[in-house]
Amino acid sequence: MGSALEQNLRAITIADRLRAEGISRRGFLKFCASTASLMALSPAMVPAIARALENARRPSVIWLSFQECTGCTESLTRSHSPSIENLILEQVSLDYHHTLQAASGEAAELAREMAMQENQGKYLLVVDGSIPVKDGGVYSTIAGITNVDMLNEVAAGAAAIIAVGSCAAFGGIGHARPNPTGAMPVSEIVTDKPIVNVSGCPPIPTVITGVLAHFLTFNKLPELDELGRPLTFFGQSIHDRCYRRPFYDKGLFAESFDDEGARKGWCLYRLGCKGPATYNACATTKWNQGTSFPIEAGHPCLGCAEPDFWDMGSFYRALSIPTEDTTRTLVYGVGTGAVLGAAAAAMARSRKSKAKALHYKVSVSDLEESS
């Protein structure tokens, strides 16, 4: 019905929309500066962003939630009463999100199918949650459709996929040992589409919007690391950008949660901080309106933005500690070594006593001169 108008609205650029709302060029530049900051791009990129937004069009977004806890959606919607993020979100057409949309039941599924039809090959697919594939995928279904089937169906017509949260990106807690539902990340099911992984449990809301902003601005996906994560947010580790890093460099560590070091804000490495091996933007973007992040609150980084962080040993044991029980290996090793050593020693001793029995007695006759 209103789709003609809708089409028209989509046809105009973001800059036009802002101008239509009576926002000055200065305001637009401010918007661009905020967007650059949001995307963690250098302020030098502002002119390029401005140029791009002049021409950017409003994409359709379909959001699928699978085996998940809604934490990712919560993170996004409960972030700072969204402002710039909100502006960005206003620039997309969120056509299906089963937690956020008003429609339910068949109407909801219809909205999804319509959005797919109308934007075939152009819409953006956002996924949160892992996809269970064991036993034909029966462990999670929506409207009687298994998650795997729905993902495959929706992904087929998508321009790109954003896997939001560690579950969609890497399998997350569903994928943790023993993985009873055969949970899989999006990237293991869909292999023929560009996928951006915005990992984290939950992911940083501004990172989600930052990726959307990037897609919106440049109409392409940002540069990714080897795990498919946008480099602008995941290019440096928590440790690299941690304000406690100088304490690590000096060798000053908290050894318990209430010792002198903890009170003085020393490095949390010994308390199990996974910051050195965790790539995410928490240390600079921070949480709760940029207030703080776990390490600033005195808790070690769990490494939630990394694959299988649930299975990397205790959250409270240092990164340098092996993930398996080395003491046990050591004890069994000594035992096995003792048994084998005893056998080897017995062989050596018998060889030696045999040699003694075969002793060749040197006599004067052996001393004939050789020449």
Partner 1 sequence: MSSSEDRAVNAFREQIDGPIASYLSSCVHCGLCAHACLFYTETEDPRYTPINKVEPLRRVWKSEYTFFGKLASMLGLAKKVTDDLLKEWEPLIYDACTLCGRCSMVCPVGNDISYMIRKTREGMVAAGYAPDGLKGATQRAVTIGSPMGVKFPALQVQIHNVEKETGLRVPVDVHGADYMALLSSMEIMNFPEYIGALVKIFDKAGVSWTLCSEAFEATNSGMQIGSSDLEGELLQRVVDGAESLGVKYVISPECGHAYYALRWEGPNVLGKKYPFQVIHILELLDQLRLKGKLKVEDKVDEKLTFHDPCQIVRKGGVVEEPRSLLSLVASDFVEMEDAGVMNWCCGAGGGVSANERAQPLKLAAFKRKKSQLEALGVGTMVTACANCRINMEEGLEENNMQIEVIGLTETLADHLA
Partner 2 sequence: MTRDTEQVRQPGICFGRDRGNDRPVLTELYHALQALKRCGKETVIDIKSLPFGSIDEQRLAEFLGKGEVEAVLHALGESRITETAFPGIWWIEHRNEHGEITAKSIEVAYIPGILKSQRDDVAAACRRLGSLVQLADPDGEPGSIET
Partner 3 sequence: MTSVEFLAWVRGPMFQIAVAIFVVGVVIRLIEIFALGRKADLSKPRGGETMPGIKTIVRRSIPDPGTFKRSPFTIVLGYLFHIGLFITILFFVPHIELFHDVLGLQWPGLPTPLVDAVAIISIFAMLAILANRLRNPVLRFLSNGEDYLVWAATLLPLVTGYFAFHRMLFPYQTMLGLHILSVEILLILFPFTKLMHFFTSFIARWYNGAAFGRRGVQS
Residues that bind partner 1 (CB under 8 A): 340-341, 344, 347-348, 351-352, 354-356, 358-364, 366-371
Q: Is 278 in the site for partner 2 (CB under 8 A)?
A: no
Residues 283/255, Cβ–Cβ less than 8 Å: no
Distance separating alpha carbons of residues 218 and 210, to the nearest angstrom = 12
Shortest Cβ 230–partner 2 spacing (Å): 14
Q: Which positions touch partner 3 (CB under 8 A)?
A: 225-227, 237, 239-240, 248-251, 253, 269-270, 276-277, 279, 306-308, 311-313, 317-324, 326-327, 329-330, 332-334, 336-338, 340-342, 344-346, 348-349, 352
- Contacts of residue 282, defined as CB under 8 A and 6 or more positions apart, other chains included, come to 204, 238, 293, 294, 295, 301
Strand blocks (E) in 108-207: 123-128, 131-132, 141-142, 145-146, 158-164, 183-184, 195-198
Considering only 3, 7, 24, 152, the residue that binds partner 2 (CB under 8 A) is 24
Going by C-alpha positions, the residue among 126, 124, 154, 156 that lies closest to residue 58 is 124
The option from partner 3, partner 2, partner 1, none interacting with 242 (CB < 5 to 8 A, set by class) reads: partner 2
d(CA 295, CA 174) in angstroms, rounded, equals 26
Q: Is cis: bond before 205, omega within 30 of 0?
A: no
DSSP class of 105:
H
Give the interface segment with partner 2, choosing from 110-118, 161-169, 179-187, 239-247 (CB under 8 A): 239-247
Residue 194 interacts, among partner 1, partner 2, partner 3, none and using kind-specific CB cut-offs from 5 to 8 Å, with: none
- In terms of CB distance, is 292 or 336 closer to partner 2? 292
Pick from 27, 136, 180, 333 the residue near partner 2 by CB under 8 A.
27
C-beta of 103 vs 343, nearer to partner 3 = 343
Q: Among partner 1, partner 2, partner 3, none, what binds residue 351 when CB lies within 5 to 8 Å by partner kind?
A: partner 1
243 is a contact residue toward partner 2 (CB under 8 A):
yes
Q: Which two tokens stand for residue 340?
A: 């084998």
Residue 249, binding choice from partner 1, partner 3, partner 2, none, Cβ under 5 to 8 Å by partner class: partner 3
Query: Which residue, 143 or 334, is less far from partner 1 as judged by CB?
Result: 334
Contact (CB, 8 A) for 131 and 148: yes
Tell the smallest beta-carbon distance from residue 261 to partner 1 (Å): 40
23 binds, among partner 1, partner 3, partner 2, none (CB under 5 to 8 A by kind): partner 2
Euclidean distance between CA atoms 84 and 159, whole angstroms: 24
Residue 362: name its binding partner from partner 2, partner 3, partner 1, none (Cβ under 5 to 8 Å by kind): partner 1
Interaction of residue 242 with partner 2, rule CB under 8 A? yes
Give the Cα separation of 148 and 40 in Å (integer).
33
Judged by CB under 8 A, which stretch of 64-72, 150-158, 220-228, 238-246 contacts partner 2?
A: 238-246
Near partner 2 in 32-71, by CB under 8 A? 33-34, 36-38, 40, 42-44
In this complex, which beta carbon is closest to partner 2, that of residue 70 or of residue 236?
Answer: 236
Is residue 4 at the binding interface for partner 2, with CB under 8 A as the rule?
A: no
The shares of helix, strand and coil residues in the chain, as percent rounded to the nearest 5, are: 45, 15, 40
Q: Which helix (H) or strand (E) holds 64?
A: strand 60-65
How far apart are CB 15 and partner 2 at their closest, in Å?
10
What residues does 164 pair with on adjacent strands? 128, 198
Partner residues linked to 230 by β-bridges: 224
User: Is the sign of the CA dihedral 313, 319, 322, 327 positive or negative?
Assistant: negative
Q: Which of residues 119-148 bind partner 2 (CB under 8 A)?
A: none
Question: Considering only residues 97, 214, 245, 274, which one is a binding residue for partner 2 as defined by CB under 8 A?
Answer: 245
91 is written with which tokens? 């620039």
Cross-strand bridge partners of residue 132? 183
Beta bridge partners of residue 65, listed in sequence order: 128
